[in-house]
């Protein structure tokens, strides 16, 4: 400002001086010239002005300065003259002067110090190129701060009126922060000078709230004048302008309640007098940036989206907390799926989807404005709460005479706005409301009028409506109706081509033309059409009673589609040429009438009547044309029906009729009938009444001149089944080798098919045994006869055995299968000759043998007496002793009987009393001794373990190697039989019967028997069994028995007391030598007994 | 939850409507005491719900800022000696003044939260319920004052227009102080009324 005023002050003065100088110029010129010459002379003598420099700040005048000559006094006066200029010279009391701007090119300038005799004149050559153009420092008119927006607004003038030309100006603006004047922003700003003073504005949004620190702004400029060829330089900086914020509150955090874009960077500061200890945003602590005083700031990068109530930023001091809330969200998304349509042509409803959520709620929520460009009208949508699933929609009232609407939907929130556009022709976007109040009104039995209400102003367009017609058990039908629209009235549509007396369900929906959308379907409306006269007469048939006098007339109820209403009654009339007989008003459920007629030809007429009227009559002739050439055929159906075929009958002028009945039904035979067109030659008769296995009778009638002739008679089954009962058969006659069987027919009801034959089974067998098994199982001993001649009722079975029981079964079969069988047992008669022979031959043989024996005995009676029954028994004749002796003689090694100490008494003492005598033992042992190899345990590993039996005489049990070879050694072999052992012997038995298991495997109780064993035997026992045994073990090493060979002397020695264990038994015979209990034991009486024994025992007994 | 509370309030609000009837102080004291006890059960939940919706650090576990106070709301915590030295009229008068201020502040907090947390009907409903209960207790206390023949303290607008234009953070803090003091004052009211109940047994 100072510079500017200074400039203004200076300019008039300079102008005034130049005027004054111009007026005095003539007078002073000779004097001035003279002075100049003197000055030059003196200057050469004392010095001259030097270093002329010129600058300009406005391109209108140059400010030239020079250095005074040395020694020049303060009151020196200079005359500056410019060659070829008018006025050529200027006087100045200082060492500078302003001269008008010179034209481009060199100008000679002389500076002559006046009143200084010692100085001399100086000459300079001055060119514009040597002049510097330095504008004055610009002046800031105003610097203001928008604190909520953190924005500085700068205002200054360009002083364009000062400069002669239009030129470009570059402004450089610097923003300084804090007391320490940190440069935070330097920016250039380009404008042009246009000859008048123009005020310029510049705004800057600070990244830090302006409240946080003092902000200063400085400005300088650079004028780029294209006409000036000299050096152009930046002006000096303007004086700084400051902006600062002050408050009385103890502390505040800025910015407050700001809404920013997610992901942006932001600085928060706390303006406080207290020392801030920490700062946090949400859960995160932030490093502090110290500002002036105690003020601090934090810098947040890439801020994340806020929750509804915003993100809290809190600064904590020792005694207080200060904070602010920031709302980080998104600008509104472009509204999606903008759609505008009308339901009634009164208002347009535009709906849309807001798209991506903004995360801003409450007052920061998105507001929507729907504006229409043709009419310039708009409606606003504003919600305080962003509720999910709430539809976004706006209603825009339709304007009269405007069909085309150009809508713009603008979404706006503090972070920005977005738009969506849609151009609609409202008459083409009609989505009508659901038609309501459906009503139906009769036109006639086959047509109704449908009416409904549809709200809306459709006066200018057409409505396209669709009527859906639903009938029970029928496909639905859609019919389109085009109706001229109206303003909120009812609409009518006629619906024809309906069936009389039928329940229909109607519903309606509408659209407009051109089509946009169907409305929803209206509610359904059910309606029953009125009755019409039956369209056809009933299907009629007639049957004569068997007496031929009464005619029964049958008719079928009319189907609903032909009855056209509820049939109330039927009228039946019979008319001939002579008379007419009629029944009137036979009520509906009755579908037959009987009347007595003579044999005249009658035409029977049946008429059905409902409330609308009578049906056309259906007529049938009473006469039946006889057919002599008729035979009954058989037919089998397909399971559901039966196929009847016939040849074409040219005489059949009207329909064929097939009637049928259950074959077992009484006359008149009629279940149902069916009419077949006259040109047909076959018909498949199907009926729900048909059952498999039931015989039906079918009759085909041809129609000729109103009379019917029976053409074919067929019995058949729709499906054959197996007979349900067996044929009832009896035995008519029985002989010794044949049976005559007779049977009866099976009743038709139980046959269930056409009889194809019988199967007759027979075999030998008693009642009790044969009952258990069926005859029909294909066994080879069962004979079968297939009787395919169904007329055969008897069967003779020949080639049978006499007096033998036979099992007979008879079964019938059809194509459906085999029926059950009836069974019977028959015994053939005896063959008497064979029996007699069978008795006589044995008797004769017996007699002959007796006679021969008697003769022989008689003749040898003396020898017999001497041999068997001598008077004095001779011991030598004792066979038993001889036998024993012979054995002893043949075996010299046998010493048992010869040794006195070896008496059988030992055996007897140790064991239970036995019936076997001592002598028996020795005898049985003998063969063993002869074949010692067989008794070796190794020879028969599977045999029971044997314990050698030996005489308990210690003195004789000397180890004798030869004893092994000595086949004559007397030994008794014991065979262990578990059940026969005494408890003490059991461990031995268990161990020996299962040597693989070893002693250890036999856990549990063991007898505490002690047996003397050798150390070797003990070791062996310990090695084998010690580690395996569990539980209690016997204190006797029973293994010793195992190891002891029967032939081993040691074994005989050690077992001298144990020989009594077990039962001695012959190896060969396996017979118990000492039976455990008595002679009744079955084992003791087994196969081991020989005749020899028998005889030997006998004397003891 | 809200309906029984409202019904309860209606029954409790009846006595002050019939101010003219000379009644025994025991009945209104008992009713006020019951209401205060009922309110006491819900105050901590209100505070917790409130803090939960304000974001960190308010929603941090164990958040507490005793240094935050509101000049427009008299503090509830006093020393036992001071409290004991008060007479019945003073105690009732201070509690009435506090609950009058609390009803106004709760209204303000409810408005603030409608803008800050519009999608949180639970919080808004609890604030509304707390305000209604405070009003109900005020009515009961007025009935006691009448029954005891004490002068009715003048109703004062403690808020005025000063609280408007506050920043969101200030509003959050204000809501915190109000819900916290509501709990403190309810505790104190229970104590006051228990003392009165002992003095005027029904």
Q: How far is A315 from chain B (nearest CA, A)?
A: 11
Site from A312, A318, A385 to mutate, B interface, most B CB atoms within 10 angstroms = A312
Cα–Cα dist A143/A173, whole Å: 12
Cβ-based contacts of A387 with chain B (< 8 Å):
119
Q: Comparing A50-132 with A623-719, is the CATH topology the same?
A: yes
Cα–Cα dist A261/A280, whole Å: 19
Cβ-based contacts of A307 with chain B (< 8 Å):
55
Q: Which of A1059, A851, A1086, A803 is nearest to A952 (CA)?
A: A1059
**Domain range summary for chain A, segments of one domain joined by +:** 50-132, 134-243, 253-329, 336-428, 436-528, 533-611, 623-719, 729-769+779-835
Cβ-based contacts of A319 with chain B (< 8 Å):
67
- On the question of pLDDT at A912 being above 90, the answer is no
Domain of residue B136, CATH code: 1.20.1250.10
- On the question of pLDDT at A714 being above 50, the answer is yes
pLDDT of residue A865: 85
Q: How far is A353 from chain B (nearest CA, A)?
A: 19
Cα–Cα dist B202/B197, whole Å: 8
Please, what is the average pLDDT of chain A? 76
Are the C-beta atoms of residues A260 and A316 closer than 8 Å to each other?
Answer: no
> What global pTM score does this model have?
0.57
Q: How far is A249 from chain B (nearest CA, A)?
A: 13
- Class in CATH terms, A729-769+779-835: mainly beta
Higher confidence at residue A1072 or residue B69? Answer: B69
Instruction: Encode pLDDT of A116-173 as tens digits.
Output: 666 778 888 888 888 999 999 998 999 999 988 889 999 999 888 888 878 899 999 9
Instruction: Encode pLDDT of A483-501 as tens digits.
Output: 998 887 799 999 999 999 9
Average of pLDDT values for B52-73? 90
Instruction: Encode pLDDT of A442-482 as tens digits.
Output: 999 999 999 999 999 998 899 999 999 999 888 889 999 99
Place A549 in a pLDDT band, splitting at 50, 70 and 90: confident
Residue B9 lies in a domain: no
Residue B180 lies in a domain: yes
Q: Which of A220, A223, A249 is nearest to A237 (CA)?
A: A220
pLDDT of residue A882: 52
Q: Which of A698, A616, A714 is nearest to A657 (CA)?
A: A698
B177 touches chain A (CB under 8 A): no
Interface touch B169/A362, C-beta < 8 Å: no
pLDDT of residue A524: 94
pLDDT of residue A1034: 42
Instruction: Encode pLDDT of A335-366 as tens digits.
Output: 999 999 999 999 999 999 989 999 998 889 89
Instruction: Encode pLDDT of A105-119 as tens digits.
Output: 888 888 888 876 667
Helix (H, G, I), strand (E, B) or coil at A964: helix
Cβ contacts of A704 within 8 Å, gap of 6 or more: A625, A651, A652, A653, A654
Considering the domain A134-243 in this protein, what is its CATH number?
Answer: 2.60.40.10
pLDDT of residue A187: 94
ipTM above 0.90, yes or no: no
Place A16 in a pLDDT band, splitting at 50, 70 and 90: very low
* Domain range A533-611, its CATH number among 1.20.1090.10, 2.60.40.10, 3.30.565.10, 3.40.190.10: 2.60.40.10
pLDDT of residue A585: 82
pLDDT of residue A469: 95
Average of pLDDT values for A907-928? 42
Interface touch A363/B115, C-beta < 8 Å: yes
pLDDT of residue A159: 87
Interface touch B55/A312, C-beta < 8 Å: yes
pLDDT of residue B161: 59
Q: Does CATH number 2.60.40.10 belong to domain A50-132?
A: yes
Average of pLDDT values for A12-30? 40
Q: Which of A1089, A970, A1083, A1087 is nearest to A1075 (CA)?
A: A1083
Chain A interface, Cβ < 8 Å to B: 253, 256-257, 280, 282-283, 306-312, 314, 319-321, 323-325, 361-363, 365, 384-387
Interface touch B169/A256, C-beta < 8 Å: yes
Residue B40 lies in a domain: yes
Residue A310, Cβ neighbours under 10 Å: how many? 27
Residue B8 lies in a domain: no
Q: Are strands A241-243 and A89-92 parallel, antiparallel or unpaired?
A: unpaired
B174 touches chain A (CB under 8 A): no
Higher confidence at residue A260 or residue A385? Answer: A260
pLDDT of residue A526: 94
Cβ-based contacts of A384 with chain B (< 8 Å):
114-115, 118
Domain A336-428, CATH homologous superfamily name and number: Immunoglobulins (2.60.40.10)
Task: For chain A, give the percent of residues with pLDDT over 90.
Answer: 33
Cβ-based contacts of B115 with chain A (< 8 Å):
362-363, 384
Place A999 in a pLDDT band, splitting at 50, 70 and 90: very low
Q: Could you check whether the bond before residue B130 is cis, i.e. omega within 30 degrees of 0? A: no
Average of pLDDT values for A929-938? 40
pLDDT of residue A351: 92
Higher confidence at residue B67 or residue A899? Answer: B67
In angstroms, how far is CA A777 from the centroid of its own chain? 53
Higher confidence at residue A390 or residue A797? Answer: A797
Q: Which of B121, B100, B86 is nearest to B178 (CA)?
A: B100
- On the question of pLDDT at A566 being above 80, the answer is yes
Q: Which of A323, A324, A361 minimises the CB distance to B118?
A: A361
Residue B2 lies in a domain: no
Instruction: Encode pLDDT of A1043-1101 as tens digits.
Output: 333 443 343 343 444 343 444 434 444 444 444 444 444 433 333 333 334 334 433 43
Q: Does CATH number 3.40.190.10 belong to domain A436-528?
A: no
B71 touches chain A (CB under 8 A): no
Lowest mean pLDDT among A554-558, A665-669, A880-884: A880-884
Q: Which residues pair with A182 in a beta bridge?
A: A177
Q: How far is B56 from chain A (nearest CA, A)?
A: 5
Range of the domain at B93: 22-199
Tell how many helices (H) and how many strands (E) occur in chain A.
17, 65
Cα–Cα dist A827/B94, whole Å: 128
Average of pLDDT values for A379-408? 80
Pair of tokens at residue A89? 């010279």
In angstroms, how far is CA A218 from the centroid of its own chain? 74
Interface touch B116/A387, C-beta < 8 Å: no
Q: Could you check whether the bond before residue A514 is cis, i.e. omega within 30 degrees of 0? A: yes
Lowest mean pLDDT among A488-492, A654-658, A903-907, B93-97: A903-907
Q: A293: left (phi > 0), else alpha (psi -120 to 50), else beta?
A: left
Interface touch B55/A307, C-beta < 8 Å: yes
Cα–Cα dist A949/A1064, whole Å: 8
Interface touch A323/B173, C-beta < 8 Å: yes
Q: A757: left (phi > 0), else alpha (psi -120 to 50), else beta?
A: left
Helix (H) / strand (E) element for A660: namely strand A654-662
- On the question of pLDDT at A183 being above 80, the answer is yes
Place A986 in a pLDDT band, splitting at 50, 70 and 90: very low
pLDDT of residue A1085: 37
Q: Which of A283, A320, A324 minimises the CB distance to B56?
A: A283
Lowest mean pLDDT among A5-14, A451-460, A554-563, B26-35: A5-14
In angstroms, how far is CA A1062 from the centroid of its own chain? 77
Task: For chain B, give the percent of residues with pLDDT over 90.
Answer: 58
* Domain range A253-329, its CATH number among 2.60.40.10, 3.20.20.80, 3.40.630.30, 3.40.50.300: 2.60.40.10
Average of pLDDT values for B80-91? 89
Cα–Cα dist A296/A212, whole Å: 8
The fold for domain A623-719 equals Immunoglobulin-like (2.60.40)
- In A539-631, the DSSP E strands lie at 540-544, 550-555, 567-575, 580-587, 592-596, 603-610, 613-614, 618-621, 624-625
Residue B1 lies in a domain: no
Interface touch A321/B168, C-beta < 8 Å: no
Instruction: Encode pLDDT of A201-240 as tens digits.
Output: 999 999 899 988 999 999 999 998 888 888 999 999 999 9
Tell how many helices (H) and how many strands (E) occur in chain B.
6, 0
Interface touch A314/B119, C-beta < 8 Å: no
Tell me which residue has tokens 């498949």. A684
Per-position b or e across A29-68, b if 16+ CB within 10 A of its CB? eeebeebbebbbebbeebbbbeebbbbbbbbebbbbebeb
- On the question of pLDDT at A844 being above 90, the answer is yes
Domain total of chain B: 1
């Amino acid at each position: 400002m100072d510079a500017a005023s200074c400039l203004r002050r200076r300019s008039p003065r300079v102008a005034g001086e130049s005027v004054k100088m111009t007026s005095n110029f003539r007078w002073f010129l000779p004097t001035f010239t003279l002075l100049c010459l003197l000055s030059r002379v003196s200057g050469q003598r004392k010095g001259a002005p030097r270093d002329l420099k010129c600058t300009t700040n406005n391109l209108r005048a140059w400010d030239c300065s020079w250095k005074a000559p040395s020694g020049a006094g303060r009151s020196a006066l200079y005359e500056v003259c410019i060659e070829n200029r008018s006025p050529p010279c200027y006087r100045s009391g200082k060492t500078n002067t302003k001269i008008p701007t010179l034209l481009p090119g060199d100008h000679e300038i002389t500076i002559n110090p006046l009143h200084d005799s010692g100085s001399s004149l100086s000459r300079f050559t001055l060119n514009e190129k040597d002049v510097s153009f330095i504008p004055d420092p610009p002046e800031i008119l105003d610097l203001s701060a928008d604190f909520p927006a953190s924005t500085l607004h700068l205002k200054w003038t360009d002083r364009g009126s000062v400069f002669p030309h239009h030129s470009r100006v570059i402004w450089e603006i610097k923003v300084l922060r804090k007391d320490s004047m940190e440069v935070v922003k330097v920016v250039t700003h380009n404008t042009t000078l246009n000859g008048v003073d123009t005020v310029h504005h510049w705004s800057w949004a600070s990244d830090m709230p302006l409240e946080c620190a003092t902000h200063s702004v400085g400005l300088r400029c650079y004028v780029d004048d294209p006409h000036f060829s000299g050096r152009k330089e930046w002006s000096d900086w303007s004086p700084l302008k400051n902006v600062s914020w002050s408050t009385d509150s103890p502390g505040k955090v800025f910015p407050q309640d700001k809404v920013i874009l997610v992901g942006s960077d932001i600085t928060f500061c706390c303006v406080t007098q207290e020392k801030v200890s920490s700062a946090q945003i949400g859960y995160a602590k932030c490093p502090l940036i110290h500002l002036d005083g105690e003020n601090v700031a934090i810098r947040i990068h890439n801020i994340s989206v806020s929750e509804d109530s915003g993100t809290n930023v809190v600064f904590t001091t020792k005694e207080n907390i200060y904070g602010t809330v920031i709302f980080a969200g998104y600008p509104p998304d472009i509204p999606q799926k903008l759609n505008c349509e009308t339901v009634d042509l009164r208002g347009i409803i535009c709906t849309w989807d807001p798209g991506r959520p903004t995360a801003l709620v409450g007052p920061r929520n998105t507001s929507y404005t729907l504006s229409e460009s043709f009419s310039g009208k708009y409606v606003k949508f504003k919600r305080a709460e962003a509720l999910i699933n709430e539809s976004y929609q706006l209603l825009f009232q339709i304007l009269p005479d405007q069909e085309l609407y150009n809508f713009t939907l603008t979404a706006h929130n503090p972070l920005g706005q977005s738009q969506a556009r849609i151009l609609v022709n409202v008459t083409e976007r009609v989505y009508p409301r659901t038609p309501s109040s459906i009503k139906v009104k009769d036109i006639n039995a086959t047509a109704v009028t449908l009416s409904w209400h549809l709200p809306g102003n459709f006066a200018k367009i057409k409505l396209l409506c669709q009527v859906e017609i639903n009938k029970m058990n029928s496909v639905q039908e859609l019919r389109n109706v085009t109706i001229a629209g109206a303003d909120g009235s009812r609409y009518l549509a006629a619906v024809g081509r309906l069936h009389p007396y039928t329940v229909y369900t109607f519903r309606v929906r509408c659209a407009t033309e051109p089509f946009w959308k169907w409305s929803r379907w209206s509610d359904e409306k059910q309606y029953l059409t009125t009755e019409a006269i039956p369209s056809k007469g009933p299907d009629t048939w007639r049957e004569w009673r068997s007496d031929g006098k009464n005619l029964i007339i049958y008719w079928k109820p009319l189907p609903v589609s032909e009855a056209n209403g509820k049939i109330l009654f039927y009228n039946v009339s019979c008319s001939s040429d002579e008379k007419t007989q009629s029944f009137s008003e036979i009520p509906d459920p009755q579908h037959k009438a009987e009347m007595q007629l003579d044999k005249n030809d009658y035409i029977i007429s049946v008429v059905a009547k409902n409330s609308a009227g009578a049906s056309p009559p259906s007529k049938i002739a009473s006469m039946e044309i006889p057919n002599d050439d008729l035979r009954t055929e058989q037919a089998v159906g397909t399971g559901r029906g039966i196929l009847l075929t016939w040849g074409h009958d040219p005489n059949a002028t009207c329909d064929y009729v097939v009637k049928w009945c259950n074959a077992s039904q009484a006359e008149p035979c009629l279940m149902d009938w069916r009419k077949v067109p006259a040109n047909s030659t076959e018909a498949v008769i199907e009926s729900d009444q048909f059952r498999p296995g039931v015989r039906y009778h079918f009759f085909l009638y041809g129609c000729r001149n109103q009379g019917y002739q029976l053409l074919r008679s067929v019995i058949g089954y729709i499906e054959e089944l197996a007979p349900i009962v067996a044929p009832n058969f009896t035995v008519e006659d029985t002989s010794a080798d044949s049976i005559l069987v007779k049977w009866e027919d099976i009743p038709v009801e139980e046959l269930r098919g056409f009889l194809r034959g019988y199967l007759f089974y027979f075999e030998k067998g008693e009642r009790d045994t044969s009952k258990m098994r069926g005859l029909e199982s294909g066994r080879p001993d069962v004979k079968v006869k297939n009787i395919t001649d169904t007329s055969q009722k008897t069967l003779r079975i020949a080639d049978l055995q006499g007096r033998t029981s036979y099992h007979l079964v008879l079964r019938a079969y059809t194509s459906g299968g085999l029926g059950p069988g009836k069974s019977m047992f028959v015994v053939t008669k005896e063959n008497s000759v064979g029996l007699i022979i069978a008795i006589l031959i044995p008797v004769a043989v017996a007699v002959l043998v007796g006679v021969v024996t008697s003769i022989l005995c008689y003749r040898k009676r003396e020898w017999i007496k001497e041999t068997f029954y001598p008077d004095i028994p001779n011991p030598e004749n004792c066979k038993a002793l001889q036998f024993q002796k012979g054995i002893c003689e043949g075996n010299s090694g046998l010493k048992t009987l010869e040794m006195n100490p070896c008496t059988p008494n030992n055996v007897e003492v140790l064991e239970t009393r036995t019936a076997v005598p001592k002598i028996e033992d020795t005898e049985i042992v003998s063969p063993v001794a002869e074949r010692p190899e067989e008794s070796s345990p190794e020879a028969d590993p599977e045999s029971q373990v044997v314990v050698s039996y030996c005489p308990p005489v210690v003195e004789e049990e000397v180890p004798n190697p030869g004893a092994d070879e000595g086949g004559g050694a007397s030994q008794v072999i014991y065979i262990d039989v578990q059940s026969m052992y005494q408890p003490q012997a059991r461990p031995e038995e268990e161990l020996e019967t299962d040597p693989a298991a070893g002693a250890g495997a036999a856990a549990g109780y063991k007898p505490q028997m002690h047996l003397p064993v050798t150390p070797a035997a003990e070791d062996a026992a310990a090695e084998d069994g010690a580690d395996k045994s569990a539980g209690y073990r016997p204190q006797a090493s029973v293994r010793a028995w195992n190891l002891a060979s029967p032939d081993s002397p040691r074994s005989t020695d050690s077992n001298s007391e144990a020989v009594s264990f077990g039962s001695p038994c012959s190896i060969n015979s396996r017979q118990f030598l000492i039976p455990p209990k008595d002679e009744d034991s079955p084992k003791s009486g087994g196969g081991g007994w020989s005749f020899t024994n028998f005889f030997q025992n006998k004397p003891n007994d | 939850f809200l309906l029984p509370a409202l019904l309860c309030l209606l029954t409790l609000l009846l006595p002050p409507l019939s101010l003219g009837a000379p009644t025994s102080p025991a009945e209104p004291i008992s009713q006020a005491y019951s209401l205060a006890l009922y309110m006491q059960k819900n105050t901590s939940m209100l505070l917790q719900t409130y803090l939960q919706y304000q974001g960190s650090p308010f929603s941090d576990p164990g958040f507490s800022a005793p240094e935050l106070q509101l000049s427009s709301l008299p503090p509830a915590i006093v020393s036992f000696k001071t409290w004991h030295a008060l007479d019945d009229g003073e105690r009732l008068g201070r509690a009435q003044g506090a609950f009058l201020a609390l009803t106004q502040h709760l209204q303000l907090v409810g408005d603030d939260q409608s803008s800050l947390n519009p999608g949180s009907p639970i919080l808004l409903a609890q604030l509304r319920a707390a305000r209604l209960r405070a009003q109900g207790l005020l009515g009961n206390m007025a009935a006691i004052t009448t029954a005891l023949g004490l002068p009715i303290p003048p109703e004062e607008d403690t808020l005025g227009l000063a609280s408007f234009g506050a920043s969101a953070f200030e509003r959050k803090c204000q809501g915190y102080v109000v819900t916290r003091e509501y709990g403190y004052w309810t505790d104190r009211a229970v104590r006051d009324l228990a003392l009165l109940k002992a003095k005027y047994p029904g």
